[in-house]
């Protein structure tokens, strides 16, 4: 059984895809769309405001992950994919550094 967070994310992802141009939807394998459809939360109200940027909507973390998977695997050409992966790695390094600084243990002698 999938987590509540995932089924809500599937619902949010499908709602966002409903606002997208058909050419982008057609690039996603039907099996993947069917997977999201079969695992969405029935009657879930997403409250997505399509007039706002995605970064301002307050999406679940797993929704962002699903959208990143779709972008990386189905919408990017090889150059975009390489740039995106590089950016993801940079963001991961930055996040790790911030966590290390935040939780640095100071030993006093």
CA nearest to 70, candidates 3, 106, 109, 20:
20
Average pLDDT for 41-48 = 85
pLDDT value at position 99?
85
Top mean pLDDT of 29-38, 42-51, 55-64, 96-105 is at: 29-38
The pLDDT, as a whole number, for residue 108 is 55
Three-state SS across 38-94?
Answer: HHCCCCCCCCCCCCCCHHHCCCCHHHHHHHHHHHHHHHCCHHHHHHHHHHHHHHHHH
For residue 59, how far is the Cα from the chain centroid? 8
CB 4 within 8 A of CB 54: no
Q: What is the average per-residue pLDDT within 86-90? A: 94
Its pTM stands at: 0.80
Report residue 89 as tokens: 């790695």
């Amino acid at each position: 059984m999938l987590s509540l967070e995932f089924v809500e994310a599937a619902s949010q992802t499908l709602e966002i895809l409903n606002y997208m141009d058909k050419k982008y939807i057609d690039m996603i394998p039907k099996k993947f769309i069917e997977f999201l459809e079969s695992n969405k939360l029935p009657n879930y109200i997403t409250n997505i405001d399509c007039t706002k940027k995605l970064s301002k909507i307050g999406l679940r973390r797993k929704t962002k992950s699903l959208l990143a998977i779709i972008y990386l695997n189905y919408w990017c050409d090889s150059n975009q994919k390489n740039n995106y992966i590089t950016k993801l790695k940079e963001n991961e390094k930055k996040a790790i550094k911030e966590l290390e600084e935040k939780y640095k243990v100071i030993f006093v002698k």
